[in-house]
Structure 1
Amino acid sequence: MSVIPVAIIGAGPYGLSLAAHLAALKIEHRIFGRPMQFWSNVAAAGGDRFLRTYCFGTNISTPRSGFTFADYSGPRGLETFEPCSIGDFVGYGQWFQQANVPWVEPVDVAQVSGAPHCYKLRLADGTELRAEHVVVAIGLNGFAHVPVALTSLAPGLAAHTSEISSFTSFKGREVAVIGAGQSALEAAALLLEAGAQPSLLVREQSVDWMSRVAQKRSLWRRLRSPISALGSGPVAWTLAHFPGAMYHLPDAARARIFKNYLTPGGAWWLRDRIENRLPVHVGTTVEGARETNGRVVLRLHIDNAGDQSVREMTVDHVIAGTGYDIDVERLSFLDPDLRKSIQRLGRAPRVNARFETSMPGLHVIGPASAMSFGPLFRFVAGCEYASQAVSAQLASRRKAMA
């Protein structure tokens, strides 16, 4: 069985970016996965769905010019600032892939096992191969977080926002949506617009709404609050323009920034679709859930400005807009012994300055690397730095072995 230098698992923004950079350096590799699959599934659920980031902050990276989101959107008369349609983003990613990485193999990797620098991969179609380096670039696939209180419910009664295949299927149904972030707020709006009866359950005492930032601003305003791929303000600008800086912070400091930066909130274009249009229950935590006669009974703890109470709510379905939990154990395609050998930051993989785990030759890029590198890598904006860092390391090793 021949050994290939690099195998990339995942054909989303990070996987496509790395493949484009490796190709420019003439580093042999194979990339597996269905291009833009995660975002295609999100867009297919229907409705007006948008990315929370600016269009210029969602560029898939390649050394070639002419392949930014604006390069795709401008000639087609699409938005180039905000809000960015998820459907348009999928179209952009597929256009990028066809032009820059046409050799993607649309098959999943079922298992990765083996010793460092000689990993064995088994594909979903039964094909086996070996690779010196494996790069995990699966994005958010497999990391959807559903509260423990809902895990006893049947799949048809509770789902994560990323698992919804059609919002119109909830028409006429009472639905509780849990969360106060973009995905929860957007799901509530889309359910309402699809003819459902959603109620929003928010643990915080209020919903945090982002303000709209004018595209054209005064020089003073631009200096005081610069716009970057992560939003506006000096902190966002610093994180976006010095992508490797947070890696050098102590673990505790980096974890604190990661936790407190970009807390749950909604984009400005969602506000009119939510406020005064559906029930919003603030200070509400779901403590338990049970099925009764095909419906869901939620046990809620209410904190009304310090006044504590418990009550029940009965609905037809529950949707969790509760984010994503990066956990090495969720990388189920990695052999258990391999997962066990990966050092961690909390539950996330610890990676070095070149995105390599404690298992030599096994790299992780994208949201799964964010605990080591900071919040920029939760977003598409981090793919350029990650692709350059990994490809540079692989090129250096190839040169040293020549």
Structure 2
Amino acid sequence: MYDLVVVGAGPYGLSIAAHAAAAGLRLRVLGRPMASWRDHMPPGMFLKSEPWSSNLSDPTGDRTLSAYCASRKLPAEHGRPVPIATYTDYGLWFARHAVERIDEQTVTSVRPSAGRFVVTTDDGETIPSRTVALAAGVMPFVNVPEPLVALDENLTSHSSHHGDLARFKGKDVTVIGAGQAALETAALLAEEGATARVVARSGRLNWNAPPQPLNRGLMRSLRDPHCGLGTGWPSWVWSEIPWAVRRLPGSTRLRIAATALGPAGAWWLRDRFESAVPVLLGYRLRAASPSGGGVRLDLTTPAGARTALETEHVIAATGFTPDLTRLRLLDRELGAGLRRVGGGGAPELSGRFESSYPGLFFAGLLTAPSFGPAMRFVYGAGFTAHRLVRGVRRRLGRTGS
């Protein structure tokens, strides 16, 4: 019988595991380390966040991205984007040094049993545990616009489904979206030799400004403070005091999770993008259908007129939806019985990330409607890991472990 099973081995799962191991818990970690980063991000991508705000979390605070890069004589400087490949290697290094054992098995089921949990893997192993932390990442929550759902996968895909964009060389590809994933995917497509364009329902593209120096005068720092999610007081609240966000009404938290830190491109991407990718702004997707080996997109223009666009493939860079019903590994009856935030799809959580079912904890995207937008980024892993493991230890104490 384990004290804790961690499902998922991305930044959140690894951080939780590091804190749990240091606390002496009987621990099992299941998942392929850094799987989303290794398998679902094409070469040439960079971190949008600053190196100092992209650390995985361990109790000593020694296994930082900067420490990893310094040991390999790699740059990790404020204002200089870090390649995704470097960050992935950092996560694997963290896993080797901070977590004793990781089983690269896929979890197919988490269900309650006699006041405990049984976790089942794809090879048929059943693992009993007193508590479970679900850190399943973002892949279960992929959001695809309704008009694209029925299309064959050869005609449409989500931006997170591509570990390599080279197969689109010489093809006409349309990217739907206006955030970093859409803009960087389109730029990489163009650089791979595709004819790429972006279709966005927003009337303009937003670009982040270059980061301000870390060392500034007192008044400038007070007016526009640095924080893990950028600069400014709203971002400071989201990143530095997620516990305060949780105390807001559920409807308010849902709105914050859905709208705060909206779509924007990284400052370092702008020149590459604008010189290579045309954009249709203010266009809405009405329908999509197969056409001559490609896709016909029926669009509404900013003026309300109807138009059509023919393309060979459509990539939806339309984010992720935190909805429990999409987490298929969770026992259906158990999931249906959990309290939700404001009547939405995400679980209502305690201050220590425990759901309304005792012993079941969540981490990552599903916790954003409870704790705010920091949980959509790696930066939230430190706050999560520390508090969640405290919650596990408290729960174990109550159950006489």
Identify whether the pair has TM-score above 0.5, normalized to the shorter chain: yes
Q: TM-score, normalised by structure 1?
A: 0.95
The alpha-carbon deviation at position 216 of structure 1 amounts to 4.8
Matched, 1:293 2:301: no
1:343–1:357 contact (8 Å) kept in structure 2: yes
2:65–2:76 contact (8 Å) kept in structure 1: no
CA distance in 1, matches of 2:349, 2:396: 21
Q: TM-score, normalised by structure 2?
A: 0.95
CA distance in 2, matches of 1:268, 1:398: 46
Give structure 2 stretches of 5+ with no counterpart.
Answer: none
The alpha-carbon deviation at position 214 of structure 1 amounts to 3.2
Q: Which residue of 2 aligns with 1:271?
A: 270
Q: Structure 1 stretch 221-230 or stretch 86-95: which is displaced more?
A: 221-230
Question: Which of the residues 75, 79, 95 maps onto 1:78?
Answer: 75
1:178–1:321 contact (8 Å) kept in structure 2: yes
CA distance in 2, matches of 1:108, 1:255: 30
- Secondary structure of the residue aligned to 2:289 is strand
Percent identity for Structure 1 against Structure 2: 35
Aligned length: 395
Q: Which residue of 2 aligns with 1:316?
A: 312
- Secondary structure of the residue aligned to 1:244 is helix
The alpha-carbon deviation at position 56 of structure 1 amounts to 1.0
Q: Which residue of 2 aligns with 1:374?
A: 372
* Offset from partner CA, 1:28-52 (integer Å, 9 cap, x none): 1101001000111134x22x21122
Alignment of 1:37-186 (within 5 A): 37-43=35-41, 45-46=42-43, 48-75=44-71, 76-81=73-78, 82-115=80-113, 117-186=115-184
CA distance in 1, matches of 2:288, 2:27: 47
Question: Which of the residues 360, 363, 388 maps onto 2:361?
Answer: 363
* Aligned-partner residue type, residue 100 of structure 1: A
CA distance in 2, matches of 1:272, 1:291: 34
The alpha-carbon deviation at position 297 of structure 1 amounts to 0.3
Matched, 1:229 2:228: yes
Q: Which residue of 2 aligns with 1:194?
A: 192
Give structure 1 stretches of 5+ with no counterpart.
Answer: none
CA distance in 2, matches of 1:254, 1:216: 30
* Aligned-partner residue type, residue 351 of structure 2: A
CA distance in 2, matches of 1:268, 1:117: 50
The alpha-carbon deviation at position 399 of structure 1 amounts to 4.0
- Secondary structure of the residue aligned to 1:308 is coil
Alignment of 1:2-13 (within 5 A): 3-13=1-11
Q: Structure 1 stretch 308-317 or stretch 377-386: which is displaced more?
A: 377-386
The alpha-carbon deviation at position 113 of structure 1 amounts to 1.6
- Secondary structure of the residue aligned to 1:80 is coil
2:353–2:391 contact (8 Å) kept in structure 1: no
Q: Which residue of 1 aligns with 2:254?
A: 255
CA distance in 1, matches of 2:214, 2:13: 34
* Aligned-partner residue type, residue 58 of structure 1: S
CA distance in 2, matches of 1:191, 1:176: 10
The alpha-carbon deviation at position 140 of structure 1 amounts to 0.8
CA distance in 2, matches of 1:138, 1:175: 30
Quickly say closer, same or farther: Cα 1:116–1:53, change in 2 above 3 A. farther
CA distance in 1, matches of 2:307, 2:82: 39
Question: Which of the residues 316, 322, 327 maps onto 1:331?
Answer: 327
The alpha-carbon deviation at position 281 of structure 1 amounts to 0.4
* Offset from partner CA, 1:90-133 (integer Å, 9 cap, x none): 11100101011130111111111224731111111111121111
* Aligned-partner residue type, residue 325 of structure 2: E
Q: Which residue of 2 aligns with 1:209?
A: 207
CA distance in 1, matches of 2:289, 2:75: 45
